[in-house]
Structure 1
Amino acid sequence: MSASDISIQASLVDNKLAVSFKLLLGLYLVIPLSILVYILDQYYWGNYLKAILPSSPSHFILFQILFGTPHIIASALILLGNKEYLQFYKVKLLVMTALIILVFGIGSLFIPYRVLYIMAACWTVYHVFKQQHGIAKAVCQLPSWGFYWLLWISVSAGIFIYIGVFLKNSLGVQQIEWVKMIAFVLTFGLILSTVLCQRYIKTGFGKCFLWSNTLLIVSSFYMYTQQYYFLAILIPRLVHDATAYVFYVTHDYNKHHQSPQNTLFKYAERCHLHVFLVLPLFSFALAYLLQAYGDEMVNMITRWFFDGEIRQAISLGLIGYLSLMHYYTEAFTWQAGSPLRKYIRFSK
């Protein structure tokens, strides 16, 4: 979910459930909880967690199953599972699909993998922080220049932290130090910028939102420097994904709770499954099946029919495509005036 231009306005339909800004702010409690876990591990558990938590990008499959892929699949299910949404956005979806195939498909034959990886990483980080800053914008009421300055310095710092975590095994010692130094300068600059911008915010609640977004970067950077790589990525990702699910479930409840509008929710009603649980359960289950068994299932089929294999057809191909489409579509599907947005209202 990317909320680039959220405003508190009257809904076009009678929505019984509202997105609570207090609930969204409460999700940032993952920051002090992660710091508490770090302190306990440092001083009481003898670095046990540091030793067992994933420390290499190749070990992040569990992370993707739990935190990365499910909300991407959830957003795709909302968009593709409702005919009116698909019809409304079909031109944009087709154009973006063609561009993804051109750049990341055909382009991979000519563009180095490292370049494509960094492009995708930059888009990922931008998507994550654009959502959080977009939501905070409605509460903080910052001047436009302040909003974009904090957003871009957060994104820049986040990109270097991301690179430092996921490319650490392929960077030289000097390169790693440069990445850390740049990330530090950007993080420190973000803190100073937040101090400067907070004077434009009139409410304590707004200032809490402002500093919460800044602390996403600060805490992630600190965990990165302490080599708690899993926590460095977990903190912003968990806040981002949980925030997205708040919007998704609110949308589904307001759209489907009285009368299910698509096949998934009609079957869920027959199974007496509460509307709150449908999308989270289905998206997590589908994410697990695709990540754990998708590639092997495709290879079984291709070996049977073509006596060959397609490497990472699901884990890289399909999920990569869904991820890029997610970053693109979420930039406009929840804005005011969209067919999805009419099922969302806000409360403090």
Structure 2
Amino acid sequence: MAVSFRFLLSLYAIVPLSLALVWLDSAGFDHALREALPTSPSHFLLFQVLFGTPHIVASNLLLASHSDYLAAYKGKLIAMTGFIVLFFGVGSLFIPYRVLYLISACWTVYHVLKQQHGVAKVVCRLPNWAFHLQLWLSVSAGIFTYIGIFMHNSLEPEQAAQVLRIAVLLTAALCISTFICQRYVPNRLGWYFLWANTLLVVASCYVYSQQYYFLAILMPRLVHDITAYSFYVTHDVNRHGNRPENALFRLTASCRIPPAVVLPLLSFLLTYLLQAYGDDLVNLLLQTLFATQVYKAVTLGLIGYLALMHYYTEAFVWTAGSPLRRYIRFSGV
């Protein structure tokens, strides 16, 4: 099985579809859709179950279910766990919440856009300076867009306007950079990917400026999540398709469940259980055993830890020479 670049490129169709939806709603329905949508995707349990958290759970399951991967990265995983506990756990007693939130937001945006630019790098073949220029302009514009979306209720009107102005300026700089960098792309597919990543940021910024916050987050989230799953599924099929190599895939093989659907199904199920029942179950146990409760122990604590570990590990587990990369090949180049 191969990761298809043409399939990955097709995911960006969510951009023109979202823009068409915004323009239709504005012109024909007096913003009825905007008023009906939540101000943040996190307001919908269904959205959390479908996007964001499942691929985070899946990536952690992928590492945890293979002893050879755990052995290869044991030192890094232990060190990062210690850092998360100290900085985001103990540090939360001294560091203001807004500072921790901004750090997490920046890391989230960097992770999402770094994945998309990293995938496109294979076909764009930009010089290093051009690749990093595109990446950091995208990330900078994305960070201010993200802040404007998720902190719009806590910002003063002038602050919100300033955040939007900075996001627009950085987005404009990204467009100019793309015009300059496109001359270095040697093939048509790479040109499409270069502009697809740029338009993803442009569309998110524009939709955010029109206060369609839900769609502004949905576009990059959908592209990012499905791209990630394409790697996970390809890995599982190529490693376990003929002969299951660990207990999880031996169990699912005995149930005649194809390896391509094991990780998606399991990650969606676990996400639903954690989001819907995790906090209540933990607090029931803590109340019964210790007469105490912990605020969002699962939905904030555990899932937050898994998300930070995902951001960290995805930076190196798919690079050339990693044990996971042996099971990945590409098509459609």
Pair in the same fold by TM > 0.5: yes
Does residue 312 of structure 1 match 2:296? Answer: yes
State the identity as a percent. 60
Aligned residues: 332
**Structure 1 residues 284-323: aligned runs within 5 Å:** 284-323=268-307
Match among 206, 213, 217 for residue 229 of structure 1: 213
Q: Given that residues 18 and 346 in structure 1 are in contact (C-alpha distance below 8 angstroms), is that contact kept between their aligned partners in structure 2?
A: yes
Q: How large is the Cα RMSD of the aligned pairs?
A: 1.2
Does residue 155 of structure 1 match 2:126? Answer: no
Deviations 1:310-347 (A, max 9, x none): 11000010000000000000000000111100000111
Does residue 194 of structure 1 match 2:178? Answer: yes
Partner of 2:58: 74
Matched position secondary structure for 1:259 = coil
Aligned AA (2:296): Q
Partner of 1:91: 75
User: Structure 1: how far apart are the matches of 2:161 and 2:231?
Assistant: 39
Shift of 1:48: 2.8
Q: Given that residues 57 and 165 in structure 1 are in contact (C-alpha distance below 8 angstroms), is that contact kept between their aligned partners in structure 2?
A: no
Deviations 1:99-135 (A, max 9, x none): 0111001111110000000000000000000000011
**Structure 1 residues 44-59: aligned runs within 5 Å:** 44-56=28-40, 59=43
Change (3 A) 1:209 1:58: closer
User: Structure 1: how far apart are the matches of 2:319 and 2:293?
Assistant: 41
Q: Given that residues 66 and 284 in structure 1 are in contact (C-alpha distance below 8 angstroms), is that contact kept between their aligned partners in structure 2?
A: yes
Task: Give structure 2 stretches of 5+ with no counterpart.
Answer: none
Does residue 330 of structure 1 match 2:314? Answer: yes
Change (3 A) 1:56 1:335: closer
TM-score of the superposition, structure 2-length normalised? 0.97
Deviations 1:257-297 (A, max 9, x none): 11111222222112221221111111011111101110010
User: Structure 1: how far apart are the matches of 2:186 and 2:321?
Assistant: 28
Query: Is the deviation greater in 263-272 or in 80-89?
Result: 263-272
Match among 177, 182, 193 for residue 209 of structure 1: 193
Partner of 2:2: 18
User: Structure 2: how far apart are the matches of 1:80 and 1:225?
Assistant: 41
Match among 227, 232, 237 for residue 253 of structure 1: 237
Matched position secondary structure for 2:70 = helix
Shift of 1:96: 0.4
**Structure 1 residues 58-137: aligned runs within 5 Å:** 59-137=43-121
**Structure 1 residues 26-37: aligned runs within 5 Å:** 26-37=10-21
Aligned AA (1:80): A
Matched position secondary structure for 1:170 = coil
Q: Given that residues 96 and 325 in structure 1 are in contact (C-alpha distance below 8 angstroms), is that contact kept between their aligned partners in structure 2?
A: yes
Matched position secondary structure for 1:273 = coil
Change (3 A) 1:87 1:184: same
Change (3 A) 1:117 1:61: farther
TM-score of the superposition, structure 1-length normalised? 0.93
Shift of 1:68: 0.8
Q: Given that residues 42 and 48 in structure 2 are in contact (C-alpha distance below 8 angstroms), is that contact kept between their aligned partners in structure 1?
A: no
Q: Given that residues 124 and 194 in structure 2 are in contact (C-alpha distance below 8 angstroms), is that contact kept between their aligned partners in structure 1?
A: yes
Partner of 1:179: 163
